[in-house]
Structure 1
Amino acid sequence: MRAIVTLLLLLASLASAAADESKVRVGPIDAVLTVPPGVPKPPVALLIAGSGSTDHDGNGPKLKPATLKKLSEQLVARGIATLRYDKRGAGGWKKEFGRPEDFRFKDFVDDAASLIEYLRASGQFSRLNVVGHSEGGLVALLAVQRAPIDRLVLLATASRKQGDLLKAQLEKQLPPEKYAPIGKAIDDIMAGQIVDPPPAGLAIAPSMQPGMASAFNEDPIDAMKKITGPTLIIAGGRDRQLPRVDLLALTAADIAAKSLWLPDMNHVLVDVTDEADDVASYNQPDRPLDPTMIDAVAEFISHE
């Protein structure tokens, strides 16, 4: 099995090397468009990264799993073009984005919608698809309501508001006396209040709290209920950030959606064996993605 995976990675690398890769700018957004060689009017997938200052490879300042880069390589090897981009804040905050304290979650949605429209207007592609990873799944759910697409893929995407999810994650990690003030502060921020000073362990400056509130309060279930096109939802059993209930809730919100549960896959879409292996994978950019996940996404996007 390992030899087969190694061969697939080699083939993907060769295909990526031969692909037509170009840098594009759409408004203030820097992106990378990769088109498979010899495929007239291929389908295209807009890849939307997860939370943080994440670049077009799926890397942040501290964690570098290269999730989007690896996904792009595998999709291009299967005849699917990709567009991946630097989120606001990746590599520093550009003046074109305005003041950081004026950021709202809708700005992420605006960016994704503008990229969808760019791909649609280019006329280069047979079908337009969106693949959102983690928080990128929420961005995708909101963006496709404004800019219609053909198919939607959600990878390791939460069904709960981000504020509620963060509270659940921290409550599992922290002793009750440390969690209590943090949980209350998150509730206050979600209610539109400014928490000054924020409690120890919640490093959200008062000036940035309105922007965080806009992210904390978006409801993926409400957005999911409005999706009308074909949707594929994939999640993993070794994802320490999201339990299976999130997959089930998203699927229940759209009974027409397809879903796939991969027992060994973690949050950055690789197979791991235990918690130590999971932690290590967040800084292993050459580690292969779950092959079943890749095949499922490629088949779903390519299906007529």
Structure 2
Amino acid sequence: MRAIATWLLLLVSLTSAAAEESKVRVGPIDAVLTVPPNVARPPVALLIAGSGSTDHDGNGPQLKPATLKKLSEQLVARGIATLRYDKRGAGGWKKEFGRPEDFRFRDLVDDAASLVGYLRVSGRFSRIAVVGHSEGGLVAILTAQREPVDRLVLLVTAARKQGDLLKAQLEKQLPRDRFEPIGKAIDSIMAGQIVDPPPVELAIPPAMQPGMTSAFTEDPIDPLRKITGPVLVIAGGRDHQLVRLDFLALTTADIAAKSLWLPDMNHVLVDVTDDADDVASYNQPERPLDPDMIDAVASFIGQGRGDRGEQ
């Protein structure tokens, strides 16, 4: 097995070295387009990162798992082009984005939709897939509602409103007396109210709270039900940010979706053995992604319009 893994890494390295990689700017969005060598009109995947000011590699200011970079390398090695981009705020806030306090969650959807439009107009690709990781899955769902795409892939994506998800996560982590004021503040923000002052452990300035309201209240389930194209949902058993009910709710919302549950995969798409290994993996950019996840995503993007269903 080690020899096979080493060979695959060598193959990815050689393919990456030969791939055509170029910087792209679409409006204010900076992106990286990577095209596999010797493939005429390959399929292309728009890779959408999770929450925070995440860059085109899938790295943030503190956590650097390089999730999108590794996924791109693996897809390119399998003949699939990728477009990955810096989310708003990555590397600093640009004046082209307007005032930070005027940000709304749908701005992220606007960005992704404009990139889908760029890929379509280019005429270089046979098929367009949108691949969303974590919060990027919600962006991907809303983008697929707005812009026709050929494939939609949801990687470790929540089935709940983000405000409800955050409350559930914090309730597990904090003692009850510390959680209660935070939970009430999140409820108030979700209701469109301004919390001033906010709890110390939820230090969202009042001016930024309307933007958080827009993020906290987007529901993935109803828009997912309206998606008519092929969908793939993948989640992992060692993901401590989500629960299996999220996975089941997404697959129930689109009963024709393909789905894959990987017992050892965590939230940054690598296999881990325990809690300590899980935490360490968030800053191990060299750590390989789950191979079954990669195979499933590549096969789904590359396949014809065949049957849909459980993998």
TM-score (norm 1): 0.99
User: What SS class does the counterpart of residue 24 from structure 1 fall into?
Assistant: strand
Partner of 1:232: 232
Tell me the alpha carbon deviations over residues 32-70 of structure 1, each in whole angstroms, 9 at most, x when there is no partner. Answer: 000000000000000000000000000000000000000
Counterpart-to-counterpart distance in 2, 1:211 and 1:3: 49
Alignment of 1:116-155 (within 5 A): 116-155=116-155
State the Cα distance separating 1:229 from its structure 2 match: 0.3
1:142-180 Cα distance to aligned partner (Å, 9 max, x none)? 011111000100000000000000000000000000000
- Shift of residue 7, structure 1, vs aligned partner: 2.0
Q: Spell out the pairing of 1:1-304 with structure 2 (5 A cutoff).
A: 1-304=1-304
1:259-303 per-position Cα deviation (integer Å, ceiling 9, x unaligned): 000000000000000000000000000000000000000000000
2:309 equivalent in structure 1: none
1:162-218 superposed Cα distances (whole Å, 9 cap, x missing partner): 000000000000000000000000000000000011102112111110001100000
* Residue identity in the other structure for 1:239: D
**How far is 1:11 from its partner?**
1.0
Post-superposition offset of 1:14 = 1.3
Give CA deviations for 1:118-140 in whole Å, capped at 9, x if unaligned: 00000000001010000000000
Structure 2 counterpart of 1:13, one-letter code = S
> What letter corresponds to residue 262 of structure 1 in structure 2?
L
Classify the secondary structure of the residue corresponding to 1:46: strand
Tell me the CA shift for residue 8 of structure 1.
Answer: 1.2
Query: Stretches of 4+ moved more than 3 A in 1?
Result: none
Q: Distance in 1 between matches of 2:281 and 2:2?
A: 17
Q: In structure 2, what is the Cα distance between the partners aligned to 1:281 and 1:237?
A: 15
Q: 2:97, 2:9 → 1: CA distance?
A: 37
Deviation at residue 3 of structure 1 after TM alignment: 2.9
Question: Letter of the aligned partner of 2:161 in structure 1?
Answer: K
Q: Secondary structure at the match of 2:202?
A: coil
Paired letter, 1:12: V
Say which SS state the counterpart of residue 252 (structure 2) adopts: helix
* Distance across 2 between alignment mates of 1:6 and 1:68: 21
Q: Could you say what secondary structure the match of 2:200 adopts?
A: coil
Paired with 1:271 and 1:5, the residues of 2 have a C-alpha distance of 14
Letter in 2 for 1:57: D
Measured in 1, the distance between the counterparts of 2:287 and 2:3 equals 14
TM-score normalised according to structure 2 size: 0.97
Give 1:222 deviation, angstroms.
1.0
Amino acid in the other structure paired with 1:216: F
User: SS at the partner of 1:194?
Assistant: coil
- DSSP-derived class of the 2:12 partner: helix
- How many angstroms apart in 1 are the aligned matches of 2:146 and 2:296? 26
Q: Distance in 2 between matches of 1:186 and 1:91?
A: 28
Aligned-partner SS, 1:214: helix
The CA distance in 2 between the partners of 1:270 and 1:7, in whole Å, is 19
Q: Give unmatched runs, 5+ long, in structure 2.
A: 305-311
- Report the AA paired with residue 169 of structure 2: Q
1:131 aligned partner, one-letter code: V
Please give the alpha-carbon distance, in whole angstroms, between the structure 2 residues aligned to 1:150 and 1:28. 25
RMSD over aligned CA atoms reads 0.6
Give the Å deviation of 1:90.
0.2
Following superposition, the deviation at residue 17 of structure 1 comes to: 1.1
Give 2:23's aligned amino acid: K
Shift of 1:6: 2.6
Partner Cα separation in structure 1 for residue 17 and residue 246 of structure 2? 37
The percent identity for this pair of structures is 83
Alpha-carbon separation, structure 2, partners of 1:107 and 1:89: 12
Deviations 1:214-240 (A, max 9, x none): 000000111111111000000000000
